[in-house]
Structure 1
Amino acid sequence: MNRTTVYVLVAALAAALGLWAAQGFFARPATPGHPPLKAARLFDPPRELPAFTLRQSDGTPLVSGELKGHWTIVFLGFTNCPDVCPTTLTQLRVAQKQWAPLPEATRPRVLFVSIDPERDTPDRIGEYTQAFHRDTLAATADVPALEAFVRSLSLVFAKVPAPEGTPADQYTMEHSASMAVLDPRGRLAGFISPPFEPADIAADFQTLTEAQP
């Protein structure tokens, strides 16, 4: 068994453990008082996140407090992703356009977190996400900080080295397909799992935003 195969197996195991952790949360009852939702699955109680610091696309820090006041969808990805990432960001763009009439002060937000800091500079992720929707936040960090942040969301990622005989920078990244949902207090409140339906996501977050105090 070569090293690449080992990395792929490790990534698959990590993804399975992440799914198991998420299912543990889903086993909890839905948060009382929330309206019925179609895409997002919330649990009770929401979980406080440990302090974190990411780097936004403009180079400024993104810290826990800056995610308060809005419902936020956190999506892991990387700019060299061939299909899943651009497809998901395109689907989220449809939802973002639908909730655009909501007041900016409480409008839901999408946060794209690159788990490939070796290739994804802040400038690069900014250009990448802006091509989908101008309101999408983009951030990354060094690997230890990313691992801590992603683990706090019960999500996973892993680097899969390039096949033998190809340039080392042609590696890929495995990561959770589910998206984390943060409530207006910046707590982990639930998940959205594929397949994604933009209309359902838009309706859920419009409903949640209109219902928040």
Structure 2
Amino acid sequence: MFNRSILIVLVIALAAGLGLVASQRWFGRNDAPPRPELQTVRLFPQARELPPFALQQSDGTQLVPGELHGHWTLVFLGFTHCPDVCPTTLADLSRAQKEWEALPEARRPRVLFVSVDPERDSPDRIGEYAAFFHRDTLAATADIPSLEAFARSLSLVFMKVPGPDGAPEDAYTIDHSAALAVLDPEGRMAGVVQAPLEPAAIAADLTALTGEVLQ
């Protein structure tokens, strides 16, 4: 028979083992790959799945969740009549895109510009607008209910603002989030980049997330 001292040691060892298992489940597995240190991308503790969506791309094809798999993606809401925030943001993002152009296309980060002004922004128009800043920028839009649901799933907002009294009906503007949503290679909402944007930091962070190294 075990004596009392040995039994106590065994109980303590068992308790310690159970505590180690619990701590690994609570704080994460010890063998989980560490997250890279990031400068401007803020990742959430847990990425979240997006509800189904369908946007119309500039080439006329549909953009559905599966299309965004395999790449880290930055999503920006805007519109082509935007006087300041949109062109400034896309210009900043184009500088980041130029820094990661040398990365393999299969893993290269993506930028998705989503127009929240379908009344004035046709697929052709948004395609030309996005490509003016960088040829790799994806562009898409949809009807207002679909856009509202998509924006809400990314914790982003937009709102139509009428023009001044007496102005033409199409002289409205649109208030919208200036932040970028960050989607992981599984198409989940993984984080955010807040304005003001720093192109070099964005390029470094997205490259680090892909596991690649800029030359």
Is TM-score (shorter-chain normalized) higher than 0.5? Answer: yes
Question: Which residue in the other structure is 1:49 paired with?
Answer: 50
**Structure 1 segment 80-99 matched on structure 2, within 5 A:** 80-99=81-100
CA distance in 2, matches of 1:154, 1:32: 27
CA distance in 1, matches of 2:33, 2:201: 20
- Note the C-alpha offset of 1:33: 2.3
Question: Which residue in the other structure is 1:185 paired with?
Answer: 186
Q: For structure 1, which runs of at least 5 residues remain unmatched after alignment?
A: 1-28
Q: Deviations over 1:166-193 (max 9, x none)?
A: 1010000000010100000000000000
State the superposition RMSD in angstroms: 1.4
Q: Deviations over 1:92-131 (max 9, x none)?
A: 0000000011100010000000000000000000000010
Question: Which residue in the other structure is 2:151 paired with?
Answer: 150
The amino acid of 2:140's aligned partner reads A
Q: For structure 2, which runs of at least 5 residues remain unmatched after alignment?
A: 1-26
The amino acid of 1:106's aligned partner reads R
Corresponding residue SS for 2:155:
coil
The amino acid of 1:136's aligned partner reads T
Runs of 4+, deviation exceeding 6 Å: none
Identical columns (%): 68
CA distance in 1, matches of 2:211, 2:121: 35
The amino acid of 1:179's aligned partner reads L
Question: Which residue in the other structure is 2:20 paired with?
Answer: none
The amino acid of 1:133's aligned partner reads H
**Structure 1 segment 126-145 matched on structure 2, within 5 A:** 126-145=127-146
Cα 1:96–1:107 shift into 2, 3 Å: same
The amino acid of 1:73's aligned partner reads L
TM-score of the pair, normalised by structure 2: 0.83
- Note the C-alpha offset of 1:162: 1.2
TM-score of the pair, normalised by structure 1: 0.84
Cα 1:177–1:194 shift into 2, 3 Å: same
- Note the C-alpha offset of 1:61: 0.2
